[in-house]
Structures are given as structure tokens and as C-alpha cells.
Amino acid sequence: MSDFGSALRADWLLDPAVTYLNHGTVGAPPRRVLEHQRALSDEIERQPARFMLRELADPEAEGARSRMREAAADVAAFVGVLADDFVFVDNITEAANAVLRSFPLTSDDEVIITSLGYGGVSNAATYAARLAGATLTTIEMPRPGAPMHAFVETIESALTPATRIVLVDHITASTALVLPLAEIAEACHAAGALVLADGAHVPGNIELDISALGVDWYAANLHKWAWAPRSAGFLWTSPEQQVHLRPTVTSWGLDHGLAAEFDLPGTHDPTPVLTAPFAISLMKERGLEAIYAYNHELAWWAGHTLAEAWGTTFTTPEAMIGAMVTVQLPSRFDASVDAAEAARAGLEEAGIEVPVYATPTGLETRVSAQIYCDADDIEALAKAVQSL
């Protein structure tokens, strides 16, 4: 891991004048990944009709070895599932809409989301429940620093006989907590509820084996931590829940099976998902375990270092930290949305890209650790906040 850190910044197109601690928001693919994507685009343009109409996907046969299915097989293996149950989508929000709007909810059902959920995905659940006349319940989850079992118990205590689907993050968006998803799924299933997991931040952040989690659907992005170009995501669905699953766009794949329906949404740019296997191979070339370890150790160190520098507390269990960490800013800042934006803008002016959130207890920042980051970046953030 000695070559990780600032030595790798030239491998990304990121502005060298910016301390970039916000990889988790929309990702940042390495130069080699972008070059591979451009080569695919050039290949398409040499014979667009052949590539897009005959090689990309096959509407006549489920599971045909097309470009999309070959890529799906590679990525499915990376996340521990079978390609037959795996489809590509643009992003987690599209996947959540596909699941929630095609599931046969009724007015007798309840859909549960949590206070830690990503806003766009929570909105998808809100709209799906509204269409079906179902009840939507938002669970107020513990804040960072709470023990892991508290998150399971909070969800378990909120389940009712009417609960049909629980939408829960694997790694939470703003608070960057790795939740005990397998234990949550077990509690939900014991109560008769299905689990839709939002894994937007997971592939490439921590090791992922979806088959071991016991969920009913798992949706994730590949453009955040798995180094793929934007936008690239996937949806895995258990065989029991595939009968009613439909994509958000109905096109040529209708009635030809799950793969064809999702692989053929109409003319679009397939290069981000087709590039995903190359991006994953590049991560393997660097060493997956080394990447996970470096990013985790830097994030964990950042949590303690920043809290000490700012006079705040950091008590999040290490098991709930992946490659991101959330830390409270000094108490002198107002706990308002305007103050959060002012702080973010001030940090941007100082050459640091990092999100800032307003919470009931103060402002928080979420730091993303990627292998082009190092301790100097964390110390620069600490000083910049002190200067605001």
C-alpha cells in the first residue's frame, strides 16, 4: 500500500489544486477507465447498427450471451450473485423505482423507510405508496455513535403485520454508517416483511456478497466506489420476486424475460456498464483487499483526527465504518441548512471538496477516503474548518 495516496493522484483527472474528499457523492473513474470507455464508444461508432442492434442485447432469448450479459456475468460474480438474477440500471434511484412501482402493493400494505435513507430513493417509496394507497412510515434511526444492535432493534420494533417492504441502506448516504444488513433482513423476514437494500455506496467500498445478506432485492451503484463511469448501477432480485418485476421503461424486451426487459430500454449509451468489468479488473490489479484496508484505515483515522482537532466527539464503532466517515464540525457553527452551505462553500473556496450537512445536533461533514487521498488531505481539512 506504500504507493497509495498522493502518488496516485495523477491516475485520476481530478484537479490537482483541489483536495478531493468527496469521492462517495458521484464517484471519479480513473483515467484508464475513461480511456476504455472511449475505446468502446469508438467501436460503437465504427458500426453503430451492428453493435447496438445485434451485439448489445438479444430480445428474443433470455440469458443470451450478448455484450450486456457478458458484462453482467462479470459484475454479478464480483458481488456474489448469479447473472440470471442480475440486471443493469443507470443508478440506485432507477432500481428502487423499478422495484417499488412494479410490486403489487395494496391499500392494506405498509412500506417502511428510514430517516437515514437517501432522499431520491425515499421519494420513490413515497410515490409508490401513494399510487397504491399504501401506508408509508419513516423510522427515526439512531445517530452515529450508537451501537450496531440499536439499528436492528429500532427497525424490528417498528414492524407491524401490515409491513410489506422495508427499504434500508447498507451504507447510509449522509452518515456513512455500515448497517448490519443481514441481521436487519432476518428480523424483517421473521415479521413477514420483504427487504429492499440500498447499496449505493457499497460495491468497491467494502467487500460485498449479496447472497449472504438474505435480502429480497439489492440495488447499487458502480460509479461511486467501483470506479465505473457515470452512470452505472445494478439491481439484483431474488427469484421469488422476479415474477412481477418490470423496468421503469418498457421497450423491446417485453415478455422476453428479466434480462431482455432491462437490457433493452431503447437507444441509450451502454458504455458505462460495459466498462464496469474493466474498472473492477483495474481494482483487482491494485489489490481489492489492499484498497479496502487503506481506505478504511484512512477513514477511521480521519474520524478521530478531525474530532480531536475540532473539539467534538467521534464514537462510531469501527465495524460501522467503511471508506467514509461522518464527523461533527465545531459547535460554533449554526445548525442550519444555510450555515451548512456557507461552510461547504467556504471549504470549496479554500480548495477542499467535501459535503457539509445540517443535523439537529450541529453541522457534520462526510469524508470519503479513496486511494488517491492521504493524511495530508485530512489535516488540510482540519485546518480549513478551523479557519472558517
Q: Is residue 34 part of a domain?
A: no
Q: Is residue 1 part of a domain?
A: no
pLDDT at site 62 = 47
Cα-based distances in Å from 4 to 23, 308, 309, 370, 380: 15, 25, 24, 9, 18
Instruction: Tell me, yes or no, whether 244 and 339 share the same domain.
Output: no
Distance in angstroms (rounded) separating the CA atoms of residues 113 and 59? 35
Instruction: Tell me, yes or no, whether 82 and 180 share the same domain.
Output: yes
Identify the CATH number of the domain in which residue 336 sits.
Answer: 3.90.1150.10
pLDDT, mean over the chain: 95
Q: Is residue 179 part of a domain?
A: yes
C-beta separation of 96 from 167 below 8 A:
yes
pLDDT at site 58 = 74
Per-residue pLDDT averaged across 260-278, rounded? Answer: 95
Q: Is residue 36 part of a domain?
A: no
Cell matching residue 284: 483487482
The 10s digit of each residue's pLDDT in 103-130 is 999 999 999 999 999 999 999 999 999 9
Q: Which domain holds residue 334?
A: 6-29+287-387
Instruction: Tell me, yes or no, whether 310 and 262 share the same domain.
Output: no
The 10s digit of each residue's pLDDT in 338-356 is 999 999 999 999 999 999 9
Q: Are strands 19-20 and 352-353 parallel, antiparallel or unpaired?
A: parallel
Instruction: Tell me, yes or no, whether 174 and 272 share the same domain.
Output: yes
Domains of the chain: total: 2
Q: Is residue 35 part of a domain?
A: no
Point out the domain boundary residue: 281, 311, 345: 281
Residue 337 CA, distance from chain mean position = 24
Q: Is residue 38 part of a domain?
A: no
Per-residue pLDDT averaged across 149-157, rounded? Answer: 97
Identify the CATH number of the domain in which residue 255 sits.
Answer: 3.40.640.10
Percent of the chain with pLDDT over 70: 98
Closest CA to 70 of 54, 53, 57: 57
Q: Is residue 124 part of a domain?
A: yes
Residues 231, 233, 235: CA angle, nearest 5 degrees: 155
Instruction: Give every CB contact of residue 356 below 8 A, 6+ residues apart in sequence.
Output: 329, 340, 341, 343, 344, 347, 363, 364, 365
- Res. 63: pLDDT tops 50: no
C-beta separation of 228 from 279 below 8 A:
yes
Where residue 319 falls among pLDDT bands split at 50, 70, 90? very high
Q: Are strands 86-89 and 356-359 parallel, antiparallel or unpaired?
A: unpaired
Where residue 61 falls among pLDDT bands split at 50, 70, 90? very low
Higher pLDDT, 188 or 2: 188
Cα-based distances in Å from 305 to 114, 311, 351: 29, 10, 20
pTM of the model: 0.95
